[in-house]
Amino acid sequence: MGTLLFVSAAGFLAQLIDGAMGMAFGVISMSVLISLAYSPAAASAIVHFAKIATGAASGAAHIRFGNVDWHATLKVAIPGGVGAFIGAIVLSSIDLRAAIPWTASILLVMGFVVLFRFTRQRILGKTRRARARWLAPLGLVGGFVDSTGGGGWGPIVTTTLTASNALEPRKAIGSTNAAEFVVAIASSLGFLIGLGVNQMPWAAVLALVIGGTLAAPFAAWLVKNAPQRILGTFVGGLIIMLNTRQLLVAFSAPGIIQIVAYAAVGLLWGYGIYQAFKLLPVDHAANQATKKSDS
């Protein structure tokens, strides 16, 4: 009972972060489940079954608050489902942990891009409509990585949509969360085929669902009301921190290296947050000038 309460609490925290920043539900939940001695395949299956419920709740909340761009959502959701299904079948028989350093390195670079973008005096570029020709491959890769790693849909899709200026941060986050519902269903079907119904720890799935569903409305409200620059800075810093950790663990870095790396990331993230708050008046003035020119 105590273990399931711990899983439920982890689900609440994971969904609060995921719904507000478009990532980390799988990473946080997977870490907790593996620490509780679940196998990688079983842990990923639990996470994705839970994501069906949390994804529906989170997606509905983001739709309500106007955080979803349907063009981008539909273009990444279907290929994402295909990639997730294939990834679930593969992970049911093969452990792809060797791919973690490569994926983490790519995401780390993307995190720096996002953080750089939102700490400049002028946020880089104008938001432009995302095109279908690269949304489909993005969804396919994101879905595959998500199933095989227990997480990755948010970091890959939200990061790319934000760093490329395809969508403003709240729309990137909301659209990624809405599309994740399709990805979760496809991945869960793959795990049912690969693992079988009898090997699924359904109690852990329910505990994760309860915690995550309770957090979804709060997260959607947060992303609706948070300033774009602040949200983007938090997202960038979170990506850098999570993937720095992945690389340190993957290469079994000595303790002193880990301390230095975390301290450096913490200082960089802190500076980014400071810079973002410092530039809020600039954004406010620019928004007021835009409103005057439009009227």
pLDDT in tens, 77-96: 999 999 999 988 887 776 55
| 3 state SS for 242-279 | HHHHHHHHHCCCCHHHHHHHHHHHHHHHHHHHHHHHHC
Token digits for 230? 């602040």
The arithmetic mean of pLDDT across residues 119-148, rounded, is 73
Relative orientation angle of helices 153-163 and 132-149, to the nearest 10 degrees: 150
A 10 A CB-CB count for 237 gives 25
pTM of the model: 0.68
- The amino acid present at 137, given as its one-letter code, is P
Binning pLDDT at 50, 70 and 90, where does residue 267 land? Answer: very high
The arithmetic mean of pLDDT across residues 115-124, rounded, is 68
Residue at token pair 């880990």: 258
CA distance 213 to 195: 25
- Total domains in the fold of the chain: 1
CB 117, CB 123: distance < 8 Å: yes
| Res 208 pLDDT > 60 | yes
The arithmetic mean of pLDDT across residues 125-153, rounded, is 76
Q: Rounded to 10 degrees, what is the CA torsion of 24, 109, 247, 14?
A: -10
Res 85: pLDDT? 95
Residue 51 lies in domain: 2-294
pLDDT in tens, 272-286: 999 988 888 877 776
CA distance 184 to 249: 27
The arithmetic mean of pLDDT across residues 97-113, rounded, is 72
Average pLDDT, the chain: 79
The arithmetic mean of pLDDT across residues 215-241, rounded, is 77
What radius of gyration, in Å, describes the C-alpha atoms of the chain? 19
Q: Say what percent of the chain tops pLDDT 90.
A: 16
